[in-house]
Amino acid sequence: MLLSYLYLVSLWTLRGLVQAQEWPSYSDEMIYAIRSQRDLMVNVSIDQVPLPGIALKHTLLQNSATNETESLQTVLALLNHGIQAFKLDLRFDTSTEEWVLHGTNTRFAEVLGIFNKFIVGTNTNLDANLLTVLLQFDNETLSNSDKVKNTNFTAVIHGALNTGYVYSLADLAHDRAQNYTLSIDGYSDTGWVGLSRFLFDVKRRVVFGFMNGDDIFSDEDRNSLVFPSETFHYVTDSSTVSCPLDTVDSIMHVSELQWRFLEGNFGYDDFLPYLECGYSLVLTDPIDILHIADDPMFLREISSLLLWSWNSTDPTDRLPSSEEETQSEANSQYIAYRCGAFNFNKNDDLDPFKIANCYSNLPYLCRYGDRAYIWNVSQDSGTFFETDDDVCPTGYKFGIPRTPLQQRSLRLYLQDAGVSKLDFWIDINSISVSNCWISGGPYAACSYQKYGSRRNYIAMTVPTSSIALVLLLVIFYFNWVHVPIQDNRNNWKRILNAYSKEELEGVPS
């Protein structure tokens, strides 16, 4: 999310003000993987979308905490590297009467300005993503609520950020009234809109939320742009979280909680298990922006935070060389590394999505109707192009896990079925356009590029080309063979003379 613009543009728009190193950039495959995950979740309600997060108070090192420029650069770099949830600790500076990040002199309005710049630069179908900004006030601010009651907090947001990008309480009320909101069981008047409607229909990008202090502002400054604290399920102690989830019922229970966040200092090996427990992780690890390029673990850690499906080197149109050779030898005429398979291994949960030859014979993953957590792997095997046939049992259809929770429920099904290791087709491919990974079967069209099949292209162009060729041959013939128009002059004279003899001379009486 985060996508082409986020990674290809310079991470430091304020370059020259601070001698900080550029953050390592992502590979093309990493960008494709992030976009692929976003597109899988377009019909998932926004409160169920996993959002990689940062608690900014803990992230900024103390040696740069008082430098506003470095803090803003860090926020922009985090946005450019796919962070979608930001917990901001705020305090009210009574000397300047401004809201600032706790422990810094960085103004809240300046941070919002960075968000606005990022949103404007990524507001395309390719790059748009959901952002959440969670606001927590420090104890001093809460204890001095009389001083902040009339600070016009709403005006700060309006002044620094285009509020047309903000999903407000009024937007949610409207969408619920119009039956646009979803839950895991379908449309619900207590749910939230799907990611597709949020990003591409109403064109919103940000959800604001209070973590505390909902009531410290005056009645005139009740903020319709910031959701109240009870909206969010925010956990700061991982020991209170039941993980891993071991039954579908426990998964269903977790999915009923909206906007789930888990804050902590996690190792990258812990990211996927917590993601598959349904939580968006909010990291408290400090980031040394002066030496980020020298940290070999940085990209590995952040890619593990962002990706729950693909490896950071996938998806690509190439298979590993050993597998590629095997597939080529087995079927040299039919090779297309454009289809997705799920690689289940009960001893290794990481990177389950992989690229497979579309002509390989594999079983198919099937999902029961619109139920998000009920799965079946077909008994029969076939190529990816046979998924339009009745490959699934009655009531099931070809599917793919679209969230980490769904992925966890799939693992439970396979474990209960006694499967130890298995590869099977899932509903994702880039057949129509290279590196455009979409679901919807083998004939789904990429929404980012216009596409016509080679067969249709030939069918359209061959008749036109044939007619053009005939016309060219006729032109060349007449240019080469000159046909005199008076070669039969004597015959014409005889005909004219014979006709003239039959004519009467003089004027008729």
pLDDT bin (cut points 50, 70, 90) of residue 18 is very low
Average pLDDT for 250-264: 96
The residue that leads in pLDDT, 307 or 501, is 307
Please tell me the pTM assigned to this model: 0.82
Contacts 24+ apart (CB under 8 A), 212-218: 212/136, 212/137, 212/142, 213/136, 213/137, 213/141, 213/142, 213/145, 216/137, 216/141, 216/142, 216/145, 216/148, 216/149, 217/148, 217/149, 217/151, 217/153, 218/149, 218/150
What CATH architecture applies to the domain 4-306?
Answer: Alpha-Beta Barrel (3.20)
314-363 pLDDT per residue, tens:
787 555 544 444 443 344 356 788 999 999 999 888 889 999 999 999 99
Q: What is the pLDDT of residue 20?
A: 46
101-129 pLDDT per residue, tens:
988 889 999 999 999 999 999 999 999 99
Q: What is the pLDDT of residue 108?
A: 96
User: For residues 285 and 265, is the Cβ–Cβ distance under 8 A?
Assistant: yes
Q: What is the pLDDT of residue 300?
A: 79
Give helix then strand counts, H and E, for the chain: 17, 18
The residue that leads in pLDDT, 441 or 471, is 441
194-242 pLDDT per residue, tens:
999 999 999 999 999 999 998 888 766 667 899 999 999 999 999 999 8
How many angstroms separate the CA atoms of 81 and 472, rounded? 57
Q: What is the pLDDT of residue 245?
A: 95
Q: What is the pLDDT of residue 325?
A: 45
Instruction: Tell me which residue of 353, 459, 371, 13 sits closest to 186, measured CA to CA.
Output: 371
- The token pair at 489 is 């002059």
User: To the nearest 10°, the Cα dihedral for 379, 385, 388, 393?
Assistant: 10
Domain extent listing, the chain? 4-306, 314-465
pLDDT bin (cut points 50, 70, 90) of residue 7 is very low
Average pLDDT for 272-278: 95
Average pLDDT for 86-95: 93
Q: What is the pLDDT of residue 21?
A: 57
